[in-house]
Structure 1
Amino acid sequence: MDKLKNYRYIIQKVLTEYQQWAAGENQPGIEQCLSLDETRDQYLWFHVGWQEKMRDFGVTVYLRIEQDKVWIEEDWTKQGIANELLEAGIPAEDIVLGFQHPSKRVLTEFAVA
């Protein structure tokens, strides 16, 4: 399997597992959703719904693939989606912490861009 197909597979697998786990939590009125766009290589896990009379919407994880690297643009998981991607086989040099300012990325073990 080529690199791009492998990264797409890993991202979709990890996000699907997260989404299924979150969907099992007791959150009446809140739906856990995935948007997996292979054409544009953008992948989102988000929630939408109502808590009583308050609208509840938020992006939990937003990943994209650009120039053969996985960009983590948003990550509200406790353990960090980067760790899951590493464990699944994506090397640190192919993961960009896009939510970090570029000047801070050089201080991590991950790619700067």
Structure 2
Amino acid sequence: MDKLTEYPKLIKRILTEYIELCDRDSQQDIETFLIADEHNGHYIWMNLGWQKGDRIIGITVYVRIGDHKFWIEEDWTEDGIATGLVRAGVPKEDIVLAFHEPGMRQYTDFAVAS
């Protein structure tokens, strides 16, 4: 797998599938969308809107691609984006759970860092 070309396509596909699932069940006043800065390798699943008079704005998932790895900075999904990446054939050593402090990453099944 050519990581430089395939990894961006893969994360966009996985996040788009999640967003489409959310849109089927979503509330009409909350928009769910993907922000992709492909040049710099940033992919954000974002929610924006209103719920019961309160402003809703937040990141559900934020993944960066750098050093030929997925850096999962934020993940509020039930199963975890890392699980979807592994199912798609990404080796665990190419996935960093960056939301864990660096000293704790060694206790996960995934990459520690670079």
**TM-score greater than 0.5 by the shorter chain:** yes
Partners of 2:26 and 2:66 in 1: how far apart? 35
The corresponding residue for 2:5 is: 5
What TM-score results when the alignment is normalised by the length of structure 2?
0.95
Tell me which stretches of 4 or more aligned residues in structure 1 moved more than 2 Å.
none
- Structure 2: give runs of 5+ residues left out of the alignment: none
SS state at 2:28 partner: coil
SS state at 2:109 partner: coil
The corresponding residue for 1:78 is: 78
Partners of 1:49 and 1:103 in 2: how far apart? 36
Partners of 2:78 and 2:110 in 1: how far apart? 18
The corresponding residue for 2:37 is: 37
Overall identity of the aligned pairs, in %: 50
Partners of 1:64 and 1:89 in 2: how far apart? 18
Listed one character per residue, the Cα deviations across residues 34-87 of structure 1 (whole Å, up to 9, x for unaligned) are 001110100000100011321001100000011111000000000111000100
Root mean square deviation of aligned Cα: 1.0
Q: Which amino acid aligns with 2:49?
A: G
Partners of 2:77 and 2:86 in 1: how far apart? 15
Partners of 1:99 and 1:38 in 2: how far apart? 21
- Structure 1: give runs of 5+ residues left out of the alignment: none
What TM-score results when the alignment is normalised by the length of structure 1?
0.96
Partners of 1:2 and 1:26 in 2: how far apart? 35
